[in-house]
Amino acid sequence: MNDRDDDPLILVLNCGSSSIKFALFDAGATPLPRTPAWSGKVEGITGDAPQFSESGGATATLALDRERPYPAALAYLRKRIEARLDGRRIVAIAHRVVHGGSKYFEPVRVDAAVLADLKSYIPLAPLHQPFALEAIDALLAERPSLPQVACFDTAFHQCMPTVEKMLPLPRSAWDQGLRRYGFHGLSYAYQAQVLGERHGDAARGRTIVAHLGNGASLCAMRNLHSVATTMGFSALDGLMMGTRCGALDPGALIYLMEIRKLSLERVGHMLYHESGLLGVSGVSSDLRELLPRESEEPVREALALYVRSIVREVGALVATLGGLDMLVFTAGIGEHQPLIRERVCAGLDFLGVAIDPDANATHAAVISSAASRVRVVVEATNEEWVAATAAATLTRS
């Protein structure tokens, strides 16, 4: 990596179980631009046809090492990024790290001791935590002087009341770290910023943000701070998702293991990878594939259950807030699926929620009708900018 000082860049890495997203931000600009200079991703890393795409470029299929596809994807991205630096240098790397446990409430520069702490939280987020840490570990070994900053999805929810963090288990469980942490915090942190800018005091009342993607959760905010969220101890909690079950009667798990004699590993794989939209429909976890096939009964039932899950959880958060002033849709499904927004809002008409069909169809910033008692908005998320901003702040100080 080149050492030119006048064109610094911050690299953001978002490493998931089957994808790696990256974005490069101009660190020399103040304030930090919200649009990256360049971005891209590798998807389907563990599948038969992993693909690389980048801003301004075509999608390409990759041939990754089948024995070690994830390290191969990371290595490919590093070479691709280095080839495009054009004399500029990376001055910091920001990582989305899902879990900061009960110790890390703010972004932190990672050294060997911090990395060891974060590895101890892998059991709390086995689907996501290992992959971010693998990237950090590799870069620490190769470039120990290059600042790396961990930005935690759990941090945004640390301000929740204690009663919202507690689980109804023996007190010893709390002492062992079993509590509701909340996730998707980088997305919600961005919403807390942009909603205040765009909607002013209207956003500072009783607001619910629906982060609807392959992973999904809701966050209830008051004065743009988290007061409750649907995804609690693990990434399985709350809403039904693409391949994850969401909230589930624990008796069902006891039944699967005690009566059906399924192993813990088998049940874990089922809950994380075979449930949700994929499991109920038997077809796909992707709404873009499911909606055209809604005439098929299992698909229709999966979509109905998905919407019902969101409506039910919104209702619970409305009770927590004591009413609702604003409903926000964000992330892949929230931003791009008007039919899902329409159906969710139809299920909330008892709250006075009403949308303008034309505004909804065109993904307008405000999709509620003039008659709606609740302002309904669509707002893109920008987790990468939140992470890059944190890295810029830490490394400039």
Binding residue positions for Mg(2+): 14, 383
Q: Where are the beta strands (DSSP E) in 179-314?
A: 206-212, 216-222, 225-229
Q: Binding site for substrate, residues?
A: 96
* CB neighbour list of residue 154: distance below 8 Å, 6 or more residues apart: 98, 99, 100, 101, 104, 181, 182, 183, 185
Sign of CA dihedral 223, 226, 230, 231: positive
The answer to whether residues 382 and 371 touch, using CB atoms and an 8 Å cutoff, is: no
Q: Binding site, residues?
A: 14, 21, 96, 211-215, 286-288, 332-336, 383
Q: Where are the beta strands (DSSP E) in 274-345?
A: 326-330
- Measured distance CA(201)–CA(302) in Å, rounded: 37
Q: What is the DSSP letter of 33?
A: P
- Measured distance CA(263)–CA(146) in Å, rounded: 43
Q: Binding site for ATP, residues?
A: 21, 211-215, 286-288, 332-336
- Measured distance CA(165)–CA(15) in Å, rounded: 26
Strands 60-61 and 38-43: unpaired
CA dihedral 205, 190, 353, 363 (to 10 degrees): 150
To the query of whether residue 237 is one of the catalytic residues in this protein, the response is: no
Q: Amino acid letter at 235?
A: A
| Maximum distance among all Cα pairs of the chain, rounded to whole angstroms | 65
Count of other CB atoms within 10 angstroms of residue 31: 7
3-state helix, strand, coil in the chain (%, to 5): 45, 20, 40
- Measured distance CA(212)–CA(337) in Å, rounded: 10
- Measured distance CA(235)–CA(270) in Å, rounded: 14
Element (H, E) at 70: helix 69-84
Catalytic-role residue among 137, 153, 201, 358: 153
Task: Name the 3-class secondary structure at 282.
Answer: coil
User: Residue 268 has which token pair?
Assistant: 């874990």
* CB neighbour list of residue 316: distance below 8 Å, 6 or more residues apart: 230
375: β partners: 326
* Catalytic residue list: 153
